[in-house]
Amino acid sequence: MTDAPTFDDVRAAHARIASHVNRTPVMTSRTLDGMLGTHVYFKCETFQRSGAFKARGALNAVLQLSDEEARHGVATHSSGNHGGALAMAAAERGIPCYVVMPAGAPRAKAAAVHAYGARVIECEPTLEARETMLAKVLAETNAHTVHPYDDPQVIAGAGTACLELLEEHPGLDAVIAPVSGGGLLSGTAIAAHGVRSDCRIWGAEPAGADDAYRSLATGALVPRGDGSSIADGLLAELSARTFSILREHCETIVRVEDREIVAAMRFLFERCKLIVEPSGAAGLAGLFAFPEVLPSRIGVILSGGNLDLETVMGPNEDDR
C-alpha cells in the first residue's frame, strides 16, 4: 500500500492532537551559526511527551480509532520511542497496549513502555522477528495495529512538528530530519512542501544502516541488511509508502558516521544544554557532514531525547 497523507491530513492531525501534545520550543545557537555560516533552528522534540516526536503520530492514530477498533487495545513493534508513545496514547484513552521490543533495547526505553502500563513482549533483534512476534500478539489479543511509521495517520502526526516549526519560521530554506523507516521524514516533507513548495528536504541516516540513501540512489527499495549504529532508533527500513513519499519530496540523504553523531550530541549538550539521543542528533550530524554550501536558514528536527544514561554514565548505584 502506498497511499500517502496529504498536507490537509497534517493540518487536521495538528488540530486533533494540539491539546494532547507539547508545542515544543524552537531553539538557536549563535556558536553553531558562526561555525556553519548559516542560521539553524532546532525543533526540540526532546521536550515532547514521552520524550520524542513519536507521541504525535501515536496520538493521531489512537484518537481516531472507533470504540470497536479500540476495544481490544493497540499493538506494535518498536525499538523504544514509538512503543513508549503508543503506550502513553493507549493509557490516555484507557485501552490495553502491547509492544514487541527487541532484546537488548535500551533499558530506559523499555522502562518507559512499562511505566505507561503497556505489556512488553521481547523478541530477537531483527525486523523479521519483530514482525513475526507482533503477528502472534495480534492473533492472541485482536488488538489494532499502529505501525511505527508505515501508517498514514502516524506519518501525518509526525509532520505536525515541522508544521509548527514553519508556523514560527516560514522562511526556512531547508529542513533536515533523521530517517529510519521514513515516517518522520515523510511527514516533515509533506508539511514543509505544503507551506513552502521550494523548501529543500534532507534526511540524515547512519552510514552503517543506509538503506534509505541506497534506495533513493537506485530508485528501488533496498533492504537494510545487517548494518548497525549507535542510533538504535534509526535501524528500521523504508516501506513502500515512505519510499514513494521520499522519492517525490526528498532531495538528498546524508550518511553520517557514529563518531559524527556523538560529536553532534556533545555539541548539543555542551553548547545548547540539550540532552538528545543518538537518533535525535543525526540531523545536526548531517549538517556537520553536508557536502555542499549550506543555505541561509535551516530547520533541524531533534527527534528525541530518550538517552540511555547507562551507556554514558554506567549503571545506577541502586542497580549494582
Torsion of CA 34, 48, 22, 295, to 10 degrees: 30
The answer to pTM > 0.85 is: yes
Report the pLDDT value the prediction gives residue 273, as an integer from 0 to 100.
Answer: 97
The verdict on 71 and 84 lying in the same domain is: yes
In a domain, 213, yes or no: yes
* DSSP tag of 318: G
Assess if residue 254 is contained within a domain.
yes
Claim to verify: residue 59 and residue 172 sit in the same structural domain: no
What's the structural domain count of the chain?
Answer: 2
Cβ-based neighbour number of residue 319 at 10 Å = 8
As a whole number of angstroms, the distance between CA 289 and CA 204 comes to: 10
179, 38: one domain = yes
Rounded to an integer, the average pLDDT of 266-291 is 97
Q: Does residue 229 lie in a domain region?
A: yes
Domain boundary among 128, 145, 162: 145
Taking residues 238-266, report their average pLDDT.
97
pLDDT classification of 112: cutoffs 50, 70, 90: confident
Which segment of 47-61, 75-89, 237-251 scores lowest on mean pLDDT? 75-89
In a domain, 319, yes or no: no
Instruction: Assess whether pLDDT exceeds 70 at residue 311.
Output: no
pLDDT tens-place string over residues 115-171: 999 999 999 988 789 899 999 999 999 999 999 999 999 999 999 999 999 999 999
Q: For position 126, which CATH number holds?
A: 3.40.50.1100
Assess whether 180 and 261 both reside in one domain: yes
Q: How many CB atoms lie within 10 A of CB 312?
A: 10
Distance (Å, whole) CA 95 – CA 118: 9
Task: Look at residue 52 in the predicted model and tell me its pLDDT.
Answer: 96
* pLDDT beyond 60 at 36: yes
Range of the domain at 105: 55-145
Q: What is the pLDDT of residue 316?
A: 58
Other CB atoms within a 10 A radius of the CB of residue 156 amount to 32
> Residues 182, 260: one domain?
yes
Best CA proximity match to 204, nearest among 90, 104, 286, 105: 286
Note whether 194 and 291 are same-domain residues.
yes
pLDDT at 1: 44
